[in-house]
Amino acid sequence: MMGFLRMVTPPASPPAKRSRRQRRVRANGDGFPVFLPKEVKDIKDPFARALAQRIVRIPVPLQMGNFKGCVMSSCIKPIVQQHDKSPVVLLHCFDSSCLEWRRTYPLLEQASLETWAIDVLGWGFSDLGKLPPCDAASKRHHLFELWKTYIKRPMILVGPSLGATVAVDFTATYPEAVDKLVLINANAYSEGTGALKDLPKSIAYAGVKLLKSFPLRLLANVLAFSSPLSENIDWTNIGRLHCQMPWWEDAMVDFMISGGYNVASHIKHINQKTLVVCSENDQIVSNQLSVKLLCELQNAVFREVPDSGHLPHVENPKQFVKLISDFASGKIN
């Protein structure tokens, strides 16, 4: 069970012009995109509610295995693109969504950083009614196609926990797409999904149903955050909102039996400037792994975020945004 846990209001501005299709999917009277699960209305966190209203789907071409087509991929897009600076692209943890960045995203915009928050293929709120493969290679290729189609410039790629593994895997394959890396409480040394990949599908589906359960998700939140119970309950609902998507169980089982990620051998080959971030009170990933990562990377610096647990971008967003801003501007080098 612990293996599961280890994988684990924006500034006023004129509204961005939306396409007819985007306007149709945003016809919900509560301001939420209609493709989000109805449970989004029960969320109390004002930052999550505000960011959820900005989620859009954009078409990303994908050809993997027997799948060929466009995936309507969920993300938060910047209001303005700044072609003279590297954009900041935010990934999320294992089995999460772009709502993980609810407290950080508005501050990054206020710091005048062009910021994207991307839902990794197989998680988040994309339209996967026709399910593509959701293994590591497909997640990597999907991110590259999104970058190639919309971002088009070397980016500052930010990944927390398993998102750091996704970032390392992507950078090792597509180094031309990455200017700098930020790896937060990185879970970069796990050896894939281990024995889970050999489970019969019926058992795998039972495990995935358990992973979706509220008690297990609440336990993960208690380990990740030192917050009052009422806040942890609401954050649990935010963290499992994407699990209500109709394709979620199939995508999770596909990822599980594919073997997951194994990127340890790639780390020493990464030469992009990298900021390794760890939290003072992380109860899920050992800080020793961040130190190990720092030693193996070719060009890395290290910073610790005080008074925060596994997700400093949720618990200590101002401190975290200052690190990102200073790293982007070259003040941290």
Residues annotated as catalytic (active site), given as ranges: 161, 282, 310
CB atoms within 10 A of CB 211: 23
What distances in angstroms separate CA 298 from CA 167, 267, 293, 295, one per listed residue?
Answer: 16, 9, 10, 8
The DSSP bridge partners found for residue 76 are: 117
Q: CA 293, 185, 109, 81 torsion: positive or negative?
A: positive
Q: Which residue has the tokens 């003072």?
A: 280
For the chain, give the number of residues: 333
The DSSP letter of residue 235 is H
Helix, strand, coil proportions of the chain in percent (round to 5)?
45, 15, 40
Per DSSP (E only), the strands in 51-102 are 56-64, 67-76, 88-90
Helix (H, G, I), strand (E, B) or coil at 291: helix
Q: Is the CB of residue 188 less than 8 Å from the CB of residue 165?
A: yes
Q: Is the CB of residue 71 less than 8 Å from the CB of residue 146?
A: no
Helices (H), 130-198: 136-146, 162-173
